[in-house]
Amino acid sequence: MTDDDKPTVLGRIKDKLVGTKEKWAREGRLLTGTAAARSQRLPPGQRLVKDWPILDLGLQPQTRPDDWQLAVDGAVRHPLRWDWATFRAQPSFEDVSDIHCVTAWSRFDNRWAGVSAQHLLALAQPLPAARHVVLHATDGYTTNLRIEHFAAPDVVLAHSWDGRPLTPEHGGPVRLVVPRFYFWKSAKWLERIEFLIDDAPGFWEVRGYHNEGDPWREQRYD
């Protein structure tokens, strides 16, 4: 293949990894068949890790902060376009939360710093009819959330983890963090937040994964 063929982003992803994860969804792998109260810190079927695994489609964009932009558009009164300086000029927000990946690892006490989703919502002002959000990432990945879940007080557009800039492999310069759901909802390399009236399932949601992804209800697959 020559460079001129310009393979699409999704044509270069780890096909094997994607196939394996689709198979897990079909088989219902890891399901314990139990739900748990959120007061149980470790959701059913999860095991605690101390390191921080890296999971993605095999493309790790290396965007320098100076080249990064975030678009906020769709069903909003005030579309936004933030470059790095504008992003960093927003009120800063910190939150400590747990990670729960659908492949069964959980990691407690991650200290995120960035801009809160609530601040972004206050500026962008979604239209009353807007019910859904799609997160778009530089590697071609997408994932969807209901607007009220995006609006939760612990959702952060994170630029730092444990006091250090987010590394490229973990989604820097900016990733989303949505602690309430499995970690696939937390889009790395965030570049666009699209507000929608109708739902639009994302990369894993159209490949057998649950539309909502609540770990305590074991919403791994659809």
139 binds, among ligand MTE, Mo ion, none (CB under 5 to 8 A by kind): ligand MTE
List of long-range contacts for 80-89, beta carbons under 8 Å, 24+ apart: 80/120, 80/123, 80/124, 84/173, 87/115, 87/157, 87/159, 87/174, 88/159
Residue 209 contacts which entry, ligand MTE, Mo ion, none (Cβ below 5-8 A, type-dependent): none
What are 214's two structure tokens? 């609540």
Output the smallest distance, CB 18 to ligand MTE, in A. 9
In whole angstroms, how close is the CB of 44 to Mo ion at the nearest point? Answer: 16
Smallest separation (angstroms) from Mo ion to the CB of 101: 4
Nearest residue to ligand MTE on Cβ basis: 137
User: Is 124 or 178 the residue whose CB approaches ligand MTE more closely?
Assistant: 178
With CB cut-offs between 5 and 8 Å by kind, which of ligand MTE, Mo ion, none does residue 53 bind? ligand MTE
Nearer CB in complex with Mo ion: 101/123: 101
Window 100-159: residues binding Mo ion (CB under 5 A): 101-102
Binding residue (CB under 5 A) for Mo ion from 184, 189, 195, 209:
184
84 binds Mo ion (CB under 5 A): no
Nearest to 46 by CA among 23, 34, 30: 30
The pair of structure tokens assigned to 195 is 């507000």
* Of residues 171 and 179, the one with the C-beta less far from ligand MTE: 171
Give how many residues touch Mo ion by CB under 5 A. 4
One-character DSSP codes across 82-126: EEHHHHHTSPPEEEEEEEE-TTSEEEEEEEEEEEEHHHHHHHH-B
Which positions from 42 to 61 touch Mo ion by CB under 5 A, shown as an x/- string?
-------------x------
Contact between 210 and 220 under an 8 Å Cβ cutoff? The reply is yes
Residue (126 or 172) nearer to ligand MTE, CB:
172
Given the rule CB under 6 A, which residues bind ligand MTE?
52-57, 101, 137, 139, 141, 170-171, 183-184, 186-189
Residues at the interface with Mo ion (CB under 5 A): 55, 101-102, 184
